A and B are shown apart, each in its own frame.
Chain A
């Protein structure tokens, strides 16, 4: 529901915190709710907490699905 954004983890910090980067803006957030996060991973951030890791393979698959949507038609 709520405003949540995919952001890249750039640094792990003590006490289950981390620094994320979104378009060049950095913020310190909590990684308490996610496990096994490494710098370079993308997470969905909501009110200062990472809620879930983003799966890059699935993201690519979804984008491909969008692109396909027009192609099967023949005429776009």
Chain B
């Protein structure tokens, strides 16, 4: 990030985004804008500082400027409105009534800036019977039906373990905002976008819902068993909680697996075709389990893949962070965090678009950029900044004393 807050060269460098989001889905969305050079002004209430000791907020807040601002104070609202007048996008993920109660709903922002694109990301959407209910990624995936499609047996659903509602919602926000900005440039005028967290995981199970609506889907949930592929599952390899995932998608891959595993029990000609393998899946799983039990998952993966069988070690966090393929592709990025030193993070999966990780900036502390934003972007005077600090409307980390310190 250079002095202006733009990542040099990124394709979104001409955009300014006001980021009121918290937790995960929203910050993930604005992180993508920031990675590609948009100026992200992250606005946080100074009374609820962003925790950084566990690292999550640091990872999500890279390439963002930090403004500590109280929207419940008139002078704070005034600053926000001044920013809206010169910004392209506002993103927030409060409950629907929060922005309304602050008199900062879309219609009110549109009166300030006709072209503003506002994206709200509430749990269930801005309207409807559940609109004011709280939601997390974990509860969103539940009402979207995802756990009902996972399990060891059909009667007990299994949550994903990864709060699946959040990332899907974050990714949807990006496309909808960019499409709206394109529309603005072609036809003029802004947009209000309402992304419902709970609706996200519905979209990624579309085929099951389409079939269910026509009464032609019978739910079949038995662990990792697959309707078209056999064998298919995760098998326990050597070591503590190390597993190898194997899926045989056709008869040729089966022959390759058979030759690699080299066990007479797999030579039965009935197994040369899918139906025969599916009918004898228990026996085949048993043989594979015995074969892999004392072998390293990584060795098995290499052996199977080199023979043309789809296989992958079941990577935990440490193994993923040390993955040689990802390292060879320069996927990761190390950022020098102010309090924690160099930390390894995932880079960006969206390719191209003139992104340059060497310009990436680690997360900023609360209010670190308040003075720059007020003076350099909005043209406020030093005197005004002091006055805003003393009434507690703006937090200026390290640069100006807070009202408490002045008293």
Do these two chains interact?
no
Residues of chain B at the chain A interface (Cβ within 8 Å): none
Interface residues of A (CB under 8 A from B): none
